[in-house]
Amino acid sequence: MKVISLTVFLFFAAISSTYISAQDIAHEFSSYFGGGLGSLRYTLPVGDISSGIGGDFGIGYTLFRLNSNVAETGTIHHTKWGIHTGIGFSLYDAKAKIDNNQTPIVSASLKDYDGDDFDMRTTLFGYEEIQTAIFLNIPVMAQYHISRYYVMGGFKFGFPISSAFSPKYASNSRQIYNEGYYPAYGSTLDKPKFAGYGEFTGKGSSADQIKFNTSVILALEAGAKWRINEIVTIYVGAYLDAGLNNIAKNANQPFINYTIGREDNFTTNSVLSSIEDKVKTMAAGVKVRIGFSR
């Protein structure tokens, strides 16, 4: 948080002298909504990942400096440099699929009902997991207009929202096959079933257990604008938000939640916290913004 606050402060401090001395200053308040691709980017040693549908909405503020240039043709081109910030919310969605993984997923250093250490080796058949997360994003971007067109570029700082709705995951599987490997004895067990070994059908989990760190995002946007009147302007453009840092927080968790006394009633953790430890955000789509100048 300190690094982000310092970055925002220095960014505005660096341009403040330019705007304070400028004569042609404009302020624009806006609201926007967009949609398209919104995904959590990661790779799995087994299985496939598919991106989900995402959304983006919020409010913004832009401080403009205006310039007018007269071309040889007599046409007057109005250019605007601006600094944009605000607050928004972005939805990210992804799906993992694993079927008959040849390399079992290992939940290491578990203890059985006798207190012996073992590793649970899990093979999945028809496994699907959907992950959903909502981030609160604060943009710090430069904005440039010429005639009807505009471009924006800069950074966003995304903060994960913890609630009953995000972040979360939901999984289900056609079949799970568990084996218990005991390093002290060099042996593997696939039964009895009441101990959590063997084949299990219809196992699924749903929980709000995915933890993320702050996301630093490279943000780009470009499109066209239409001046409705002296106050209202409508922007329509394409945007790309690429996460730059790893946001995975509670990695290296056991995939199987194994509870003594309820061994055959186990649940599973998210693959994001038990199999993969590198996750980034990614979003792209179309955005509509309505600006109100003063």
- Which contiguous run of DSSP H or E holds residue 12? helix 2-21
What size, in residues, is the chain?
A: 294
- Which contiguous run of DSSP H or E holds residue 46? none
- Which pLDDT does position 21 carry in this prediction? 44
- Kindly list the domain boundaries of the chain, sorted by start residue: 2-293
- Which pLDDT does position 17 carry in this prediction? 46
d(CA 182, CA 197): 13
Residue 148: other Cβ atoms inside 10 A: 10
Among 117, 114, 258, smallest CA distance to 181 is for: 117
The predicted-structure confidence for 133-154, as pLDDT tens digits, reads as follows 899 999 999 999 888 899 999 9
Give the residues of the chain that fall short of pLDDT 70.
Answer: 1-23, 66-79, 162-167, 207-209
The predicted-structure confidence for 18-48, as pLDDT tens digits, reads as follows 444 445 778 899 999 999 999 999 888 888 8
- Which pLDDT does position 79 carry in this prediction? 61
